[in-house]
Amino acid sequence: MKTLVVDEQGRLSVEEIPVPAYGECQALVKMKSCGVCNGTDMKLIHGTFKNFHTYPAILGHEGVGEVVAVGDKVTSFRVGDIVLLPFLEEKVGDLTPGWGAYSEYAVVGDAAAYTRNGMGEGTEAWSEGYLAQTVIKPSDKVNPVEASMIVTFREVLSAIRRFGFKPNENVLIFGAGPVGLCFTKFAKLLGMGTVITTDIMDEKVEAALRAGADYAFNSTTCDINAEVKKLFPDGIDYVVDAVGINSLINQAMGLVKYNGKICCYGISAKLNMELDWSEAPYNWTLQFVQWPSKKEEGETHSQVMAWINQGVLKPMDFISDVFDFEHILDAFKLVEERKPCTKKIVIKYS
């Protein structure tokens, strides 16, 4: 099968590797789609992903596929099921999976089968994320290309639960990329009060307003601190860094209210900074969610699918481009161009 590989110099290539083997508690999956993650994928390509140093690596983690074969002890999956989060689990020669979902085939694990056979919680297999490898029901109103967006939806919603967002409280979100737009949309769906979103591109500011932001500002053409303080002189309940720029943490110090929270999502490229809380209130919280818990991610699935099935959350609102797998290198060129109109890019398999 074909797969996407990045070397230590950040060079991408499509390589041939064997179709993965699957065990008695696993299923083999033919990939249908995989979303491009502007965070994880790009940091792996640029060599800035925290604690990942093993190259060459096989990329991709926002995958959707169809089960084509099942192990003898599998009961949670059937041939024909559409499933989320297939991965490659084994090293292939000198290639290490950076989750490996940009491949024509991958594997999912049956958490129930592992538990029944004494290989449950606490084992390596469990920690690989089997609890989040969920079946998309035939009745769900989403196709396999759109379904790749569910991975981001679930990651963001699980982070929101970790951050403790509450109805009627107010939030400022730095960044209106796919992740920032998810924070914006979900904050409104969850009944939060005022939602403010910022970006450096007018097109993305407009996208934030369409996603439900009460206010959206271009931070290159106005003073964000002044605009927020006009609305909330005493500061705002939550300030979210949805882009991974460390300087935003210090900027948030002058915006968060007494006992408010600064929320950092994902892993920034730079892993240290000097904090300056001279402008912050006396009491405040700084919380990082760098790595979504797969268990918590899976627990958000019913809520995400309810929103999709009710028509209040539309995956295609967050997707700007779909590339056939044959043109995957062109897709990554588009990511690097950082065009204002680009949102989530999805790779589609034949």
């499509």: which residue's tokens? 14
* pLDDT at residue 128, rounded to an integer: 57
Task: Classify 134 as helix, strand or coil.
Answer: coil
CA distance 305 to 213: 22
Question: What is the reported pLDDT for 122?
Answer: 62
Higher confidence at residue 281 or residue 129? 281
pLDDT at residue 139 tops 60: yes
In Å, the largest CA–CA distance within the chain is 63
User: Could you tell me which residues come within 8 angstroms of residue 220 by beta carbon, excluding any fewer than 6 positions away?
Assistant: 200
Three-class SS of residue 225?
helix
Residue 120 has pLDDT above 80, yes or no: no
Could you tell me the two tokens for 138? Answer: 């035939």
State the virtual CA torsion across 64, 70, 71, 72 in degrees, nearest 10. Answer: 150
**Cα atoms in the 13 Å half-sphere on the side-chain side of 75:** 8
Fold of 156-289: Rossmann fold (3.40.50)
Say yes or no to pLDDT of 124 above 70. no
Answer yes or no: is pLDDT of 127 > 60. Answer: no
Helices 178-189 and 202-210, packing angle to 10 deg: 30
Tell me how far apart the alpha carbons of residues 266 and 243 are, in angstroms, rounded to a whole number: 8
Q: Are 303 and 134 in contact (CB under 8 A)?
A: no
Do 44 and 57 touch, CB atoms closer than 8 A? yes
pLDDT at 286: 97
Question: Quick one: fold of 2-148+314-348?
Answer: Quinone Oxidoreductase; Chain A, domain 1 (3.90.180)
Q: What is the pLDDT of residues 95-109, one digit of tens each?
A: 999 999 999 999 999
CA–CA separation, 294 vs 121, rounded Å?
12
DSSP assigned state of 29: E
Question: From the CA atom positions of the chain, what is the Rg in Å?
Answer: 20
pLDDT, tens digit (0-9, with 9 covering 90-100), for 237-281? 999 999 989 999 999 999 999 999 999 998 887 888 999 999 999
What is the pLDDT, as a whole number, of residue 7?
96
Mean pLDDT rounded to a whole number for the chain: 94
Mean pLDDT, rounded, for 297-305: 96
End-to-end CA distance of the chain: 13
**What's the rounded mean pLDDT across residues 34-44?**
92
Contacts of 221 (CB under 8 A, 6+ apart): none
Q: Distance of CA 76 to CAs 16, 64, 131, Å? A: 30, 16, 11
Average pLDDT (72-80) is 97
Residue spans in the chain of domains classed CATH 3.40.50.720: 156-289
Residue 290 CB coordination number (10 Å): 13
The residue type of 185 is: K
CA distance 122 to 272: 31
Q: What pLDDT does 204 receive?
A: 97
User: What is the pLDDT averaged over residues 158-185?
Assistant: 97
Contact between 44 and 98 under an 8 Å Cβ cutoff? The reply is yes
Place of tokens 């060129």: 333
Residue of 70, 155, 144, 149 whose CA lies nearest to 319: 149
Report how far Cα 324 is from the mean position of its chain's Cα atoms: 21
Could you give the CA distance from residue 259 to residue 173 in angstroms, rounded to a whole number? 18
Tell me what pLDDT residue 103 has: 98
Q: Where does the chain hold its CATH 3.90.180.10 domain(s)?
A: 2-148+314-348
